[in-house]
Homo-oligomer: A and B are copies of this chain.
């Protein structure tokens, strides 16, 4: 294994707390239906997958995640009883950047720093390159390079997303390992010939999370967190 690529939203950063934090300030300024900011974050996030499916299916040309998120923000605000037409575009655009201003899990940065001494480390995300770069600058994530979904022009779990990433890294898939907190992401990586490492993030979806608490296959590496992964990989 020469390169480790990482799922980002959930595996490296705590998107739910970060988006809820910014939504809370916004929802205090613009009153709609009574709303819990974390529920707002969940509702906004839940619109990503159907939007990406439009792209994956070919019904819509490739569209960057920051554009999809911005569209979904309008829909979500409307759902929560807020009139988006009453809000300046710049303020909505700024809230959309909440997806860049996310904090890493406590073990993420130190784990990545250790893993970087032995491997190429890069994000493997549905996020686009500029979004992932803004996040890396905000959070101090020490990526060697950033290959967003807009670079490979494909959303996982499509095989092209995995295979083109390996190609840009100049490596065959078997020299690349995907690190993720999501079993379905790892299953797709394995089908493409990549190695797989599972790191649980049991509160990604909040305190009552029921999915991805355990590895569902015998992944190549199963670690408690990124510090543990660094230890298991000898760094």
Which residues of A are at the interface with B, using a C-beta cutoff of 8 A? 66, 120, 128-134, 136-137, 143-148, 150-151, 168-171
In the complex the two chains form, is A136's CB within 8 Å of B131's CB? no
In the complex the two chains form, is A169's CB within 8 Å of B136's CB? no
In the complex the two chains form, is A170's CB within 8 Å of B128's CB? yes
What is the CA–CA distance of A146 and B130 in the complex, to the nearest angstrom? Answer: 12
Which residue in B66, B148, B170 is a CB contact (below 8 Å) of A130? B170
* Majority secondary structure, A binding face: helix
What is the CA–CA distance of A168 and B131 in the complex, to the nearest angstrom? Answer: 9
Q: Contacts A136-B144, A143-B145, A151-B151 hold; do A169 and B129 have CB atoms under 8 A apart?
A: yes
What is the CA–CA distance of A146 and B169 in the complex, to the nearest angstrom? Answer: 11
CB neighbours (8 Å) of A150 from chain B are 168
What is the CA–CA distance of A88 and B139 in the complex, to the nearest angstrom? Answer: 46
In the complex the two chains form, is B151's CB within 8 Å of A144's CB? no
CB neighbours (8 Å) of A143 from chain B are 144-145
Provide a sorted-by-A list of 23 A–B residue pairs whose CB atoms are within 8 angstroms.
A66-B170, A120-B137, A129-B145, A129-B147, A129-B169, A129-B170, A130-B169, A131-B170, A132-B145, A133-B144, A133-B169, A136-B144, A136-B145, A137-B144, A143-B144, A143-B145, A144-B146, A145-B145, A145-B146, A146-B146, A150-B168, A151-B151, A151-B168
